[in-house]
C-alpha cells in the first residue's frame, strides 16, 4: 500500500522588527527634528530677522516630511502632551519624547548663540541699533535732531504717538521690560530711517531700509 503523505500546514514565524530598534529610531527622529526647528528659530530671532515665523513653519514642514512617518513628527513637548491626552501615544514614549526634544532644543539653542554674534548683529543690522540705547534717549533724538523729511515738533510727537498705538505696541503687554524693549527697537528704527546722514554718523547708526511707514495725521479742515 502506497504511503500516503499528508501535508500539514506549518506556521510561519514572521520576524517582527525589534521593538528597541523601532523606539530608537523614533527618539532619534524627534531629537533631530527638535534640534533643527529650534536652531532655525533661534538663528532667525538672534539675527533680528522679521521672518522668524516663516523659518519656524518652513523647518517644521521639512522635518514633518522627513520624519513624520517614523515618529509622528511632534518635535515639540506641547504636541507630545496633546498626543498623550488623546491617547495616541503611551506614557513611556511620551516621557522619552520629552527628554530628547528638550535635549535637542537646548543643544540647538547653545549652537545658535555660538553661531550668531549678537554684538556684531546689532552693529550691522540697522533695525536692531536702538536696542543698546534707552528709549528716552531715542525719543529725544527723533524730536530734536535734523530729519531727512523735516517735521514740525507737533508732527514728530504725532508720529511717536502713532507708533505707540500700533498693534505691535499693544502686543508688548503691560510688563515694563517688554514695553521698553519694544520702544528701544522701534524708536531706534525710526531714528535710523528718518535722521540725516550726519546725525546717524554721530550716533553710530546705519541707514535702515525696513522702515516704519508713518506720516503725521493732519487735523481735518
Return the C-alpha cell found at 198.
550726519
CB 29 within 8 A of CB 71: yes
All domains of the chain, ordered by start, with CATH?
A: 20-116 (1.20.1080.10), 120-203 (no CATH)
- Partners of residue 147 on adjacent β-strands: 195
What's the pLDDT band for 52 if we cut at 50, 70, 90?
Answer: confident
Q: How far apart are CA 194 and CA 220, in angstroms?
A: 25
What phi and psi values does residue 195 have, to the nearest 5 degrees? -70, 155
Contacts of residue 152, defined as CB under 8 A and 6 or more positions apart, other chains included, come to none
CB 27 within 8 A of CB 80: no
This prediction has a pTM of 0.58
Q: Is the pLDDT of residue 198 over 90?
A: yes
CB 212 within 8 A of CB 198: no
Please write the tens of the pLDDT for every residue from 105-133.
Answer: 999 999 998 888 766 666 667 777 788 88
Widest CA span of the chain, in angstroms?
Answer: 122
Compute the CA torsion angle 95, 112, 42, 78 (nearest 10 deg): 0
CB 127 within 8 A of CB 208: yes
Higher pLDDT, 105 or 204: 105
Q: Helices 91-115 and 77-85, interaxial angle, to 10°?
A: 170
Q: How far apart are CA 52 and CA 90, in angstroms?
A: 32
pLDDT at 217: 77
Q: How far apart are CA 32 and CA 105, in angstroms?
A: 9
Contacts of residue 101, defined as CB under 8 A and 6 or more positions apart, other chains included, come to 30, 31, 34, 74, 75, 76, 77, 80
Amino acid at each position: 500500500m502506497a504511503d500516503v503523505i499528508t501535508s500539514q500546514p506549518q506556521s510561519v514565524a514572521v520576524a517582527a522588527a525589534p521593538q528597541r530598534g523601532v523606539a530608537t529610531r523614533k527618539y532619534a527622529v524627534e531629537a533631530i527634528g527638535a534640534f533643527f526647528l529650534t536652531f532655525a528659530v533661534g538663528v532667525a530671532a538672534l539675527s533680528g530677522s522679521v521672518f522668524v515665523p516663516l523659518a519656524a513653519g518652513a523647518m517644521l514642514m521639512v522635518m514633518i516630511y522627513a520624519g513624520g512617518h517614523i515618529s509622528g513628527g511632534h518635535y515639540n513637548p506641547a504636541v507630545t502632551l496633546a498626543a498623550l491626552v488623546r491617547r495616541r501615544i503611551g506614557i513611556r514614549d511620551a516621557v522619552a519624547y520629552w527628554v530628547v526634544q528638550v535635549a535637542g532644543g537646548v543643544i540647538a539653542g547653545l549652537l545658535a548663540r555660538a553661531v550668531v554674534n549678537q554684538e556684531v548683529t546689532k552693529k550691522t543690522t540697522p533695525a536692531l541699533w536702538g536696542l543698546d540705547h534707552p528709549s528716552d534717549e531715542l525719543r529725544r533724538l527723533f524730536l530734536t535732531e535734523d530729519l531727512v523729511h523735516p517735521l514740525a515738533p507737533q508732527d514728530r510727537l504725532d508720529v511717536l504717538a502713532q507708533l505707540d498705538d500700533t498693534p505691535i505696541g499693544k502686543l508688548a503687554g503691560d510688563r515694563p521690560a517688554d514695553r521698553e524693549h519694544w520702544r528701544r527697537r522701534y524708536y531706534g528704527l525710526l531714528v535710523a530711517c528718518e535722521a540725516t546722514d550726519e546725525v546717524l554718523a554721530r550716533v553710530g547708526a546705519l541707514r535702515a531700509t525696513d522702515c516704519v511707514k508713518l506720516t503725521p495725521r493732519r487735523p481735518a479742515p
